[in-house]
């Protein structure tokens, strides 16, 4: 018998006002393991009302008390990592060890947010004018919402909520409908950590809930991670409502391999970055841009790595790569592989028709290598979001940079080289927000900020880190004067009168 997943509003599981539900599958088996209640605009109203009530008190809570809640949440998250990782594996399909890695990267942001007393320190100018001091502070916005994708059901919510909550806001999470249970698990941990009811809420749903959050006058800011078309639409709609928006979109990340690189090392990293989590990462390296002089040798190595990837259910021992998220995703990915073959690319390793014994109904696509891909091919134009590695051949570093800069996305990229000069040229000339030098997946640590350029980001603010602190707060500047009663000289009618000097 399957369970029914409800919302989390006001500190408790809350049934929806609506009757719509959606099945939640285990991607490794194709079986329905739960039914998810899809929220309504009325559910969003209830969550916002609870958040507004909670935000008033939480925003006035001392930094030391807020920090204490964050520390307890961190300890609980670490203590429950095994159970949470298994839950993610069963709903998402990723390997349990990879799910633990996702939680670990989320923990980094929690640890960063634990230092909120230091992070919210303002500035002070004594005697800015005669008898006048000026100082600044940052205050919470109020109620903020996060709309997060299926591929990181723990990490991406943890990129948002800890920073938003530490800075004094109430946070409403709208997770993906594909793997919703992790959000409910996090809600219970927040409550156990001592977070007041209403400060963290979860409303499940589809476009109905998203639109309600974007339009609700009680929501002050929106954080989003997902595809570029949706990011663009969310940014336009929410900013039209006067909200702050950080909307992180899609990616087509390139890994450049120069002729002087260690080809075995590059092949190892490219394979891991392309096939980890079945390629369902916004920072996956889905394109290898290779100098022609070493392309044949690298492709041979990539094919060997691809054929050696152990594909199985994510909770099975020794698995390297699990299934993709849905049957529709599997069909779409295999269709793109077929298009590459039809458009003249060379299919070196074909992952179509992958069957895993004992999990024949799972949504598996095998690791795929496509050589001699050109920028006009569908496999290059589309964000595949699957275990497919394109190989684009170029004559030199300059052409590699041209290829990357011509792409509409600007999320992440990497270069594999033994030359410091080449690496410096690359990192200064590519129009990309996050760059790895011999590092395949350059996700910044928590005390920096994450985000790309061009069609990979809508809005000015990157996520978490220092930019996250600024996004979830607004500045207030105070100019104060405490004159002696025997020194009241009167006011000036001039803007820059003597009293301001």
CATH topology of domain 253-437: Aldehyde Dehydrogenase; Chain A, domain 2 (3.40.309)
Average pLDDT of the segment spanning 334-340? 98
pLDDT at 495: 65
- Residue 273: is its pLDDT beyond 50? yes
- Residue 256: is its pLDDT beyond 70? yes
pLDDT at 493: 74
Average pLDDT of the segment spanning 446-472? 95
Out of 161, 219, 282, 457, pick the active-site residue: 282
CATH topology of domain 3-249+456-477: Aldehyde Dehydrogenase; Chain A, domain 1 (3.40.605)
- State pLDDT tens for residues 138-186: 999 999 999 999 999 999 999 999 999 999 999 999 999 999 999 999 9
- Residue 402: is its pLDDT beyond 90? yes
* Residue 488: C-alpha distances to residues 130, 158, 317, 482, 494 (Å): 13, 53, 79, 10, 17
3-class DSSP state of 176 = coil
- State pLDDT tens for residues 61-79: 999 999 999 999 999 999 9
Q: What angle do CA 238, 243, 249 make, to 5 degrees?
A: 50
Q: Hey, what's the torsion of the CAs at 375, 381, 387, 388, to 10 degrees?
A: -20
234: left (phi over 0), alpha (psi -120 to 50) or beta: alpha
- Residue 497: is its pLDDT beyond 80? no
* Cα–Cα distance for residue pair 146/153, rounded to 1 Å: 12
- Residue 408: is its pLDDT beyond 70? yes
Helix pair angle (63-79, 96-114), 10° resolution: 170
- Residue 499 pLDDT class (50, 70, 90 cuts): very low
Judge whether 354 counts as a catalytic residue.
no
Average pLDDT of the segment spanning 343-348? 98
* Residue 267: C-alpha distances to residues 28, 285, 389 (Å): 27, 12, 11
* Residue 7: C-alpha distances to residues 20, 86, 240, 462 (Å): 13, 21, 28, 28
Cβ within 8 Å of residue 469, ≥6 positions away: 119, 120, 138, 163, 167
pLDDT at 486: 75
pLDDT at 498: 47
How much is the mean pLDDT over the chain? Answer: 96
pLDDT at 489: 67
Where does residue 240 rank: exposed (0-12), middle (13-18), buried (19+ CB within 10 A)?
Answer: exposed
- H or E element at residue 397: helix 397-406
Where are the chain's structural domains? 3-249+456-477, 253-437
pLDDT at 17: 82
Specify whether the CB–CB gap between 107 and 445 falls below 8 A. Answer: no
- Residue 401: is its pLDDT beyond 60? yes
pLDDT at 2: 81
Average pLDDT of the segment spanning 226-236? 97
**φ, ψ at 498 (rounded to 5°):** -60, -30
Nearest to 377 by CA among 398, 394, 367, 391: 391
């Amino acid at each position: 018998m399957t369970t029914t997943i409800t919302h989390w509003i006001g500190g408790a599981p809350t049934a929806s006002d609506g009757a719509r539900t959606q099945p939640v599958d285990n991607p490794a088996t194709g079986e329905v393991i739960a039914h998810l209640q899809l929220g309504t605009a009325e559910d969003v109203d209830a969550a916002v009302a609870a958040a507004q009530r909670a935000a008033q008190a939480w925003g006035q809570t001392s930094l030391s008390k807020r920090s204490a809640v964050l520390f307890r949440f961190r300890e609980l998250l670490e203590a429950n990592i095994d159970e949470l990782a298994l839950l993610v594996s069963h709903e998402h399909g990723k390997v349990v060890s990879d799910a633990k890695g996702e939680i670990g990267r989320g923990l980094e942001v929690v640890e960063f947010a634990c230092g909120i007393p230091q992070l919210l320190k303002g500035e002070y100018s004594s005697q800015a004018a005669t008898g006048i001091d000026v100082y600044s502070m940052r205050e919470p916005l109020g109620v903020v919402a996060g709309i997060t994708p299926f591929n990181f059901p723990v990490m991406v919510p943890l990129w948002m909520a800890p920073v938003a909550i530490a800075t004094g806001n109430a946070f409403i999470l709208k997770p993906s409908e594909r793997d919703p249970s992790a959000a409910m698990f996090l809600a219970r941990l927040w409550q156990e950590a001592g977070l007041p009811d209403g400060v963290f809420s979860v409303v499940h749903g589809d476009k109905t809930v998203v639109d309600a959050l974007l339009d609700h006058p009680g929501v002050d800011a929106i954080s989003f991670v997902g595809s570029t078309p949706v990011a663009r639409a969310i940014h336009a709609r929410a900013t039209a409502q006067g909200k702050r928006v950080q909307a992180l979109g899609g990616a087509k990340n390139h890994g450049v391999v120069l002729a002087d690189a260690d080809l075995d090392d590059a092949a190892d990293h490219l394979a891991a970055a392309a096939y980890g989590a079945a390629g369902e990462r916004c920072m996956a390296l889905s394109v290898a841009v290779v100098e022609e002089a070493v392309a044949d040798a690298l492709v041979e190595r990539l094919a060997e790595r691809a054929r050696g990837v152990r594909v199985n259910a994510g909770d099975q021992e020794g698995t390297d790569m699990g299934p993709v998220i849905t049957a529709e995703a599997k069909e779409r990915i295999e269709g793109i592989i077929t298009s590459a073959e039809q458009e003249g690319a060379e299919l070196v390793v074909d992952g179509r028709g992958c069957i895993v014994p004992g999990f024949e109904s799972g949504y598996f696509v095998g690791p795929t290598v496509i050589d001699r891909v050109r920028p006009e091919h569908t496999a290059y134009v589309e964000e595949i979001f699957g275990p497919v590695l394109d190989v684009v051949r170029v004559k030199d570093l300059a052409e590699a940079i041209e290829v990357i800069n011509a792409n509409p996305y600007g999320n992440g990229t990497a270069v594999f080289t033994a030359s410091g000069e080449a690496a410096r040229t690359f990192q200064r000339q590519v129009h990309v927000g996050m760059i790895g030098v011999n590092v395949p997946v350059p996700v910044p640590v928590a005390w920096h900020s994450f985000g790309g350029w061009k069609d990979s980001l809508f809005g000015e603010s990157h996520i978490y880190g220092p930019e996250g602190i600024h996004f979830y707060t607004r500045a207030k500047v105070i100019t104060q004067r405490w004159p002696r009663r025997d020194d009241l000289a009167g006011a000036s009618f001039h803007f820059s009168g003597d009293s301001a000097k």
